[in-house]
Structures are given as structure tokens and as C-alpha cells.
Amino acid sequence: MEGHEVRVSHPEKLYFSCEAKLTKLDLVRYYLAVAPGALQGIRDRPIVLKRFVNGACLGDSQPEPFYQKRAPTDFPEFLRTVTLSFPSGRTAEELVVDNAAGLAWIVNLGCIELHPHAVQAGDLDHPDELRIDLDPQPGVEWADVRRVAMEVKAALEGVGLTGWVKTSGSRGMHVNVRIEQRWTFTEVRRAALALARDVERRLPALASSKWWKEERHGVFLDYNQNAKDRTTAAAYSVRPLKDARVSAPLKWSEVMDCEPGDFTVLTMPQRFEQQMREQGGDPHAGMDAAAGSLDGLLELAARDEAEGLGDAPWPPHFAKQAGEGTRVAPSRARKAFSDQLGEGFGEKRFRKRAKAAEAGAETEAAKPARKTPAKRASKHPLIVIANSPEKAAAEAGLERWKHRHAEAASHLAVDDVLVDRMRGASAIWYRIRVNLRHVPEELRPAQETPDPDDDPTRAWRQAQAE
């Protein structure tokens, strides 16, 4: 490969055995077949290594990957590194993959997905890409994802930008926008939030810009994918699903007729070859020549802010940002408010106290209020059903809960069940919650001890509290 030799260890090792049957060598050959397209999305960019060293989809087993930000110490001479700084203040040397040999080398490590940052190696502080991640909520149809994607296209064109669309390789779509390297991560995220809110206004029944899962509906436009240190799966990435589907670059004319399952490790090489031969090459080949300005989106953001629509929540590991509201889920905030009412606090006084406490200020003592304060019901009554490192175990706990509370469960909508993939410093586990908003109040079960209740961070959090 371009004069470089890459040794594939254990080439016969099975990585997929559900619907698709694929070995490590099959994956290496796939990436070499689409290398010009795959490198288009990652060349000259630092990349996070998401390693599936135990395979991706093996029968009923779904081995967990791990993320490796720091480059291995023994990387070959045809790869290079750059030093990235993270919101925590730490730094790491991350790999940059510029050629087919480097692509094969990281796939040999178990990297079936490609996760580049939105910056080029020559300027790590100013993104050259705005990323729009369309994340359908449970029960949302693929047709709705396609419709929201087309509205994103129209919104971008309205501010002079060109979007380049692809399937995510799972249930959603990505729209990437090449931009001039003039803005910081914070400014690019602000532009993405303005776009998400604009699309939500255009399609209020289908699109959502709300960060908290309990408030989302339809297709969520994840503006936080533009925060520093965030990565998304690049074009041609293989995803850990049973059919080994991939993230497929599309022409906008293909969007309304495409199906995500059409693009897999087995079908994409032929599609790619045909595009290169008959259709002028990769659908995203012209992206680098289409860098645009964020001025229009930032003007839209300024109008939102002037009308009282401030910043939205950041990811949890980021420091509190200027202008950001209280970073707490609405259901928890309403519960705290309701509890405070029981202690004699009015809403204005409660919010003042919460703001002061968040800033670390001392608060004045509570004053007596009316004798019979009115309790407010939680806006989003959530209960935790299960915690487990094994997704199947957590889902089994949900089924047991549904059996115990069959009448309440009969009122649940598909998107009332929230499955969260939780990440601690060194652990991953699944939390399942149920939103009881559609369950009549008299039928709502109380919070029980989750079943199972295996949160691997609990002991650490209890030690921290003590």
C-alpha cells in the first residue's frame, strides 16, 4: 500500500457473526476498497481510536468497545500525531491518518469506526466543519428523518451554506458543512444551536433542539456534537450493527428514496466503484472547495438571544458556561422546586436560592410561608427501572417491571422508555428510565429499587460524598 507494509494480526478473527459474517481481514479489505472516500473525511485530522478488540456483533453478544485518545507508542512511520488539549485541561497525542496504509493499521487495532475531530492538524482551535447530527428518538420513522434532513438543507441554504448529507450508519443522518477556519468551538456550537432551533421552528412536530431526553420528540438535532472534544462517525465508517451497515455519503437527490440498510460492508465497495467510474466520484468530493461563513447563523443566534432564548445545556463534563441555565434535567428541577414549596418557598425565592447556591454563595434562611402550600406535580415524572453493565440485563429488568405494573405499562408510548448508555471514568453501563407522563396519576408506580441495580460508579460516588 503506497510502498508501506501492514501486517494484519489474527486475520481470521470474527468481528461480525449476526447477519453479516465478517472477519478482521474482511474489514481491512473493505476499508482499502473505499480508501479514497474514507480518507476524504479523516485526512489531516486527529482521530480518536474506538477499538472493538473483541468484535462488534457476535450472535447475542455485543462486546463493548473502548475509546483510546492517546496514540499507541509503537505507531509506524507512515502515521503522525498532533497534541490536542481537552476541556479538562489535559492533553494527548492523537493519531492523524493520511493514507491507506494508516487506515489499514488502525483497522487492525479493532477500529471499525472512524472518529475524526472537526479540526485540521494545522489549526486545532478553529473547526473547519459544522456537524449536524440528526438523532431520531424511539419510535420515529425513517421517513421523518429524511424530511428533517431536507429541512436542514433548506435552512442552511437560507444562510448561504452548503450541507453534505450521509446516513449515520445507524438510525439517523449527518449533515456536515465545510466552514472557514475563523471561529472558535464555542462559536461553532452557538451556530449549530441556532440552526437546530430554526429547524425546530420550521417543523415543530418533527424536530427538537431540546437537550434533555425527557423533553425531546421526533428527531433531535444534537448541537453539542460541535463542542470541543466531540467526534462523530466519519463517512464510510462501519457501525456495530447486525448487518454491518456503514455511514454512506449521499447526494441530496438520493435522500428521499434511500434506506439505511442498503449500505453495508458488502454493498458499499461496489457502489463506491460505480460512483468513481460513472458519476464523477465520491458524493462528498467537492466539500473542501465549499467552505462558507457562519455569519448568517450567528446573526440568527443573536436574534434568539435578544428574544430571551439563551444558551442550552452543554455536555456534563464541560465546565459551567457563561449564559448557560441551570444544568439539571427538568424533572429533577421540578421535584426540587416541589420539595422546596413544601418547606415554604415561593417559586421566585426558590429560583433565587438555587442561583445563589450554584454560584457558591451563602443563602438566607427560609422564611415561613402559607400554612398549606400547593404541591406541584413533576413536569416529567421519571423513575429509574434498571442499572447494569449488560444492556440485555437492564432490558430484562424493564420487562419484569412491565409485568409487575401491567396497567401502567399499557399507557407508555415508545419514547417514554429512555435507555441511557452511561460512561464513567473507567466503566460503561446502561440505565433504563420510564417517563410516566402518559400514565394517569393514580396509576403511576412509585420509585422502586432498580432491578438490577448494578451501577459501577456508586461505590466511588459514595466514597466521594463521605
pLDDT, position 374: 44
pLDDT, position 368: 45
pLDDT, position 372: 42
**For residue 457, pLDDT beyond 50:** yes
DSSP-derived letter for residue 58 is B
CA distance 71 to 69: 7
Least confident of 43-57, 112-126, 362-376, 387-401: 362-376
Mean local confidence (pLDDT), 51-60: 88
| Domains of the chain, earliest start first | 14-117+236-283 (no CATH), 129-230+291-306 (3.30.70.3300), 330-377 (no CATH), 382-465 (no CATH)
CA distance 96 to 49: 11
pLDDT, position 82: 96
Least confident of 56-60, 167-171, 292-296, 448-452: 56-60
Backbone angles phi, psi at 406, to 5 degrees: -60, -40
pTM of the model: 0.76
SS3 label, residue 421: strand
C-alpha cell at 8: 494484519
CA distance 202 to 196: 10
Banded model confidence at residue 461, pLDDT cuts 50, 70, 90: low
Query: Contact, 154 vs 146, CB < 8 A?
Result: no
Other residues' Cβ atoms within 10 Å of the Cβ of residue 244: 27
**For residue 90, pLDDT beyond 90:** no
CA distance 210 to 312: 8
pLDDT, position 380: 67
Least confident of 178-187, 277-286, 439-448: 277-286
C-alpha cell at 44: 489531516
C-alpha dist (Å) from residue 331 to 21, 366, 448: 44, 23, 17
Mean local confidence (pLDDT), 50-63: 86
Mean local confidence (pLDDT), 336-352: 50
